[in-house]
Structure 1
Amino acid sequence: MSARAPLIAVYGSSTKRESDAAWQQAYALGAELARHGAAVMTGGYGGIMEACSRGAHEAGGHVVGVTVELFEARGPVNRWVKERIHTPDLHERLRVIVDRADGFIAAPGSIGTLTELFLTWTLLSVKGRPSAPLVLMGDHWRDYLDAHRHPDLVVPHLFEFVQVASGPAEAARLALAGVPAR
């Protein structure tokens, strides 16, 4: 029996466009992950999710989209998704992603991305899964994390669960290096 490809979940804004630098970085991230043999899991819709899905698909990777009933009216699933997992609500969507992914990367995003980031971070720390990497792509995350480095906000040892990468190549490398061997 052959080992399955590592599955890396990527979180990010649904509103970024192809002309945005964040979209281009997400496209490069998807391609980089696929070139290193990983499958990509996103929320399946537009913006960062579509960019990463397209990059992975065009580099020969498998793309999983975890969709949710709430967003069906916003538009179709992006065409790069090859395996769709449809969920009834946001709670189930996040549970599926956290339970199935071998690693996680957060790209630029808004409150939805922050929700995904903090829930993943919390579940990894509660489950004691530092072996499942959580990577934040983009130097802006350093300032964000630094703003939370206060004992009354985030317990200091929890920062051990998070790594920051400057760009797509480093994010892919960190995420894949942290995936346990099968």
Structure 2
Amino acid sequence: MKICVFCSANQQIDPEFFTMTEALGKWAAENGHTIVFGGVNQGLMECVGKATKEAGGRTIGVIPTKVEETGRISDYVEIEIPCDNLTDRKQLMMDQSDVFIALPGGIGTIDEVFTVAASATIGYHHKPVILYNMKGFWNDLIALLDGLQAKGMIRGDWRQYIKVADSIEEISRLIS
């Protein structure tokens, strides 16, 4: 299975997020999954790529030209898919992947989650989107989604399109 990981490219974040991300990359490799990621050599992106490769797994980096121009490509990208911009990147990641997992991240990660989830709501795909709720990181977003649903702004239950997992074991159950 190709697992797309959306996550932070920042270094100055909770160190436990790196430990948990490393475990996810190792788990993916040990279970024969390929990691599709942003291909940047910083933050959780670098961490998941490195952990996956060091455990014998495969990685695919979908890398915008702006990242290439600044020399921030991870050494752990096995297959590089170049793209022009972030819109292209999201489409290529959707096309390449069977499931999407969002680790802690900021505006870019949230954009990716909602682009993929919104595409599912109107039937472009039926691929799982999972918030890996490391240490409760996504609790505020979950509360926001619950509030939007309570106000009638989301048709059906948002959990039809976005799942929440607190552990790798839960992720494993959601994608099997």
Which residue is 1:180 aligned to?
Answer: none
Verify: 1:33 aligned to 2:28, yes or no. Answer: yes
In the superposition, the TM-score normalised over structure 1's length comes to 0.85
Which residue is 1:136 aligned to?
Answer: 131
* Per-residue deviation, residues 120-169 of structure 1 (Å, max 9, x unmatched): 11112222633x11111113324422222233443333321211111334
Q: Using the TM superposition, give the Cα deviation of residue 28 of structure 1 relative to its aligned residue in structure 2, in angstroms.
A: 1.0
Q: Secondary structure at the match of 1:57?
A: helix
Query: Counterpart amino acid of 1:7?
Result: K
* Per-residue deviation, residues 29-85 of structure 1 (Å, max 9, x unmatched): 111111111000000002111111111111111010000012234433111111000
Structure 2 CA distance, aligned partners of 1:110 and 1:19?
Answer: 13
Q: After superposing the two structures, state which structure 1 stretch, 143-152 or 31-40, moved more.
A: 143-152
Structure 1 CA distance, aligned partners of 2:12 and 2:75?
Answer: 16
8 A contact 2:39–2:74 mirrored in 1: yes
Which residue is 1:47 aligned to?
Answer: 43
8 A contact 2:145–2:158 mirrored in 1: no
Q: How many pairs are equivalent?
A: 170
Which residue is 1:16 aligned to?
Answer: 11
Q: Secondary structure at the match of 1:156?
A: coil
Verify: 1:100 aligned to 2:89, yes or no. Answer: no
Which residue is 1:126 aligned to?
Answer: 122
Question: Which consecutive unaligned segments of at least 5 residues does structure 2 have?
Answer: none
Q: Secondary structure at the match of 2:112?
A: helix
Which residue is 2:170 aligned to?
Answer: 170
Q: Using the TM superposition, give the Cα deviation of residue 23 of structure 1 relative to its aligned residue in structure 2, in angstroms.
A: 1.7
8 A contact 1:10–1:107 mirrored in 2: yes
8 A contact 1:137–1:165 mirrored in 2: yes
Structure 2 CA distance, aligned partners of 1:17 and 1:142?
Answer: 20
Q: Secondary structure at the match of 2:122?
A: helix
Q: Using the TM superposition, give the Cα deviation of residue 18 of structure 1 relative to its aligned residue in structure 2, in angstroms.
A: 8.8
Structure 2 CA distance, aligned partners of 1:88 and 1:157?
Answer: 34
Verify: 1:110 aligned to 2:110, yes or no. Answer: no
Moved over 4 A (4+): none
Residues 100 and 175 (structure 1 numbering): CA distance in 2 closer, same or farther, change over 3 Å?
farther
Structure 2 CA distance, aligned partners of 1:13 and 1:175?
Answer: 22
RMSD: 1.9
Identity over the aligned pairs, expressed in percent?
A: 26
Q: Secondary structure at the match of 1:60?
A: coil
Which residue is 2:143 aligned to?
Answer: 146
Which residue is 1:156 aligned to?
Answer: 156
8 A contact 1:125–1:161 mirrored in 2: yes
